[in-house]
Amino acid sequence: MSKEPVAVVGVGQTKHVAARRDVSIAGLVREAARSALDDAELTWADIDAVVIGKAPDFFEGVMMPELYLADALGAVGKPMLRVHTAGSVGGSTALVAAQLVAARVHATVLTLAFEKQSESNAMWGLSLPIPFQQPLLAGAGGFFAPHVRAYMRRSGAPDTIGSLVAYKDRRNALKNPYAHLHEHDITLEKVQASPMLWDPIRYSETCPSSDGACAMVLTDRAGAARAPRPPAWMLGGAMRSEPTLFAGKDFVSPRAGQDCAADVYRQAGIADPRRDIDAAEIYVPFSWYEPMWLENLGFAAEGEGWKLTESGVTELDGDLPVNMSGGVLSTNPIGASGMIRFAEAALQVRGLAGEHQVDGARKVLGHAYGGGSQFFSMWLVGAQPPDA
């Protein structure tokens, strides 16, 4: 028996900001869930199960969100699951929810991811003082910056590529009312003049710290037929993981990322992602990860990803727009960031992305990664159902 086609019929998110002191965490997730239900014109009673994800527990000190948030998400009397895969969690949470529909376990599932970075300190959560070990010397940027340098060496990319990505994503964010950073006076010169934090990564090439939540309503073919607005159809979805450190690990282009993308393309019948995919929303927490992931995901040959950035292909009006929402560089509630990528892909193929809509977007990739490039999750969504 074939799988049930999975449709996204509701998308909701909060206006992402540095600190939402006016709401509890329950109130924050409620806003996103409520707006996803409103988009789908459904009520709590229409939801059969809830799948929730968040950042690692030490990041914000909520150890059992599935327990604390059941009331706020209308989950009482229903199955409620929690997914846990570091920064990729928003993507893998959506995929677990999608599998429940695809397997015909449930007809309609609410999936949600969140984080309130203002109530914690992710940097502390990443650098616990483990006995006998040397303290982490340089923070999250210090972990990723050497890999960026390795990419620059391998590809021969000009030093300016990272700033082009940041300039593009921050301008895209100006068209997205939900984005955290709205830098109306952004210029390329300002990005290039911003302080070098972890050379080769500049301040303006790093993501902010945000409070926010994102939710989606996933449903089956019958549910999609009742939806008031066009659905997005899942054409492929996959997750892969690999150890953070092992002999032969390629941090510039991890094998798990390549394999995950290949699996998604096989499911979706994508022969040439560069030709067959209209746009991509990719998890880019530091600007240089755009060209790196373009190669890892097969949009460019090895060493060629930066040329897509440099030539404007990834601009909002380019041939392959990347991070139309403004991306992680403009909005980063860590636990929700993966789901925001997936949700943006869905909004694009539904034609509901507003000012940052890509004309004629029919197939769009949503991508997330997390840990030390350890977890990958991706989906490809389309305007037409998989068998059409």
The residue ranges that bind another protein (CB under 8 A) are: 20-27, 30, 44, 58, 60-61, 70-74, 76, 116, 118-121, 124-125, 128-135, 137-139, 141-142, 145-150, 153-154, 195-201, 243, 245-252
Residues found in the chain: 388
Tokens of 206: 């790093």
CA 180 to chain CA centroid, nearest Å:
15
Q: How far is the CB of 203 from another protein (least distance, A)?
A: 9
Cα–Cα dist 216/197, whole Å:
36
Residue among 13, 10, 8 nearest 211 (CA): 13
Q: How far is the CB of 221 from another protein (least distance, A)?
A: 26
Q: Given the complex with another protein, which of 154 and 182 has the nearer CB atom? A: 154
Residue among 104, 115, 101 nearest 50 (CA): 101
Q: How far is the CB of 299 from another protein (least distance, A)?
A: 22
Residue 48, burial from CB neighbour count under 10 angstroms (0-12, 13-18, 19+): middle
Q: How far is the CB of 366 from another protein (least distance, A)?
A: 28
Q: Given the complex with another protein, which of 44 and 352 has the nearer CB atom? A: 44
Q: Given the complex with another protein, which of 80 and 268 has the nearer CB atom? A: 80
What DSSP element (H or E) covers 53? strand 49-54
Cα–Cα dist 254/201, whole Å:
20
Q: Given the complex with another protein, which of 103 and 301 has the nearer CB atom? A: 301
Q: Given the complex with another protein, which of 73 and 234 has the nearer CB atom? A: 73
Q: How far is the CB of 354 from another protein (least distance, A)?
A: 27
Q: How far is the CB of 193 from another protein (least distance, A)?
A: 14
Neighbours of 175 (CB within 10 A): 17
Question: Is residue 290 a contact partner of residue 296, using CB atoms and an 8 Å limit?
Answer: no
Q: Transcribe 25-36 into DSSP letters.
A: HHHHHHHHHHHH
Q: Given the complex with another protein, which of 131 and 360 has the nearer CB atom? A: 131
